[in-house]
Structure 1
């Protein structure tokens, strides 16, 4: 019995080696799908990797999702095989009205698409600058795009790097939506620069709008403060 088992062991090892080599020799994706999440052709500012899209492809044994994370400037990129995909905007995953309609995407080489969304609010004409050496002032307008949800708050965030948002920041000042009685008037937020940033030669700032009942916020693009 032991001799029979010992004769089979080399064969099993050889089979495992062949299978392993086949796995290593699988073709890797050579095409790229890239693009941006947009409203009226403008990229949406988001929390870094806070929003996720999904890609699905039929015709394979394993019909599973391919997650695609969106960067804070609204762009995304994924390495894929050529073929037909369906792109899905996940319900409740972004600062916009839910849209469960999938988008048909044909990937062939380097493919670029825009993913349209309808936000509840947008940040417009954001300007952030130092007010003296220890303070910061942000002025921006609020654009209401969709009805059905109230304005919860607006916030000014600061951070050491360009990745700055509700999770990644070294300081923030918020204004409650109830205190903004007329959204047609530009909003101003003043902040004392945090001590952790006063000695820096530069840092970054951006503003956001939070919609009531929506987890993610919509942001302006980061501004370098020197």
Structure 2
């Protein structure tokens, strides 16, 4: 019995090594997707500003047995990309996942090589004519706010200041806000001013960005980040 165990152990180890080698070869031979789907989330043909990686789209592809979900994160400038195999996909805008009116209509995507796609949305509010300026230890933004749909009401507007172009509620060094109760007339320009903390006082420049929060909507819509020279 002991002799059998002695012969069995080297055989077991050899089979284990062979299994590991086969598994490694399978991984090395796995084909990577070659095609890229690039796109933008747009309103009236222009990309929508978002919180960095805060909004997600979903791609679905039917396989032999399963309907596979592929999450696609949208960048703060409204663009997205995904490396995929050629084939037919369904793109879905998730309910309650963006600062726009829910639209769960499926967009059919026939991918064959690199493909570009615009995904239309209808925001609740958008910024217009935004301008930025520096002051003594302060930066300010003046803008108009257009209500695209009356389906929901305004909650607040914000100005965010940061040291990089990634600027949002989670990435800022200073901010200012005005609540809807103090904004009586959307036909008039709105000005927000943020005081710079001591940590930013010696910098040559900062990045600023305005955002609007709609009541009952989790994500905010943003303007483009702007570089403001302080010196």
TM-score normalised over the length of structure 2: 0.93
* Secondary structure at the counterpart of residue 37 of structure 1: strand
Unaligned residue ranges in structure 2 (runs of 5+): none
1:216 aligns with 2:219: yes
Distance 1:112 1:198 in 2: 42
Task: Please tell me the root mean square deviation across aligned C-alpha atoms, in Å.
Answer: 1.4
Match of 1:168 among 167, 171, 176: 171
1:78 aligns with 2:82: yes
Tell me the residue number matched to 1:90.
Answer: 94
Tell me the residue number matched to 1:152.
Answer: 155
Match of 2:187 among 175, 184, 189: 184
Distance 1:188 1:51 in 2: 27
String of CA shifts for 1:25-68, please: whole Å, max 9, x gaps. Answer: 11111111011100110100011111111111112455331111
Distance 1:51 1:182 in 2: 30
String of CA shifts for 1:155-193, please: whole Å, max 9, x gaps. Answer: 010000000011110011000011111111111112222
Unaligned residue ranges in structure 1 (runs of 5+): none
Q: CA deviation at 1:73?
A: 0.6
Contact map agreement 2:159 2:209 (CA 8 A) in 1: yes
* Secondary structure at the counterpart of residue 85 of structure 1: strand
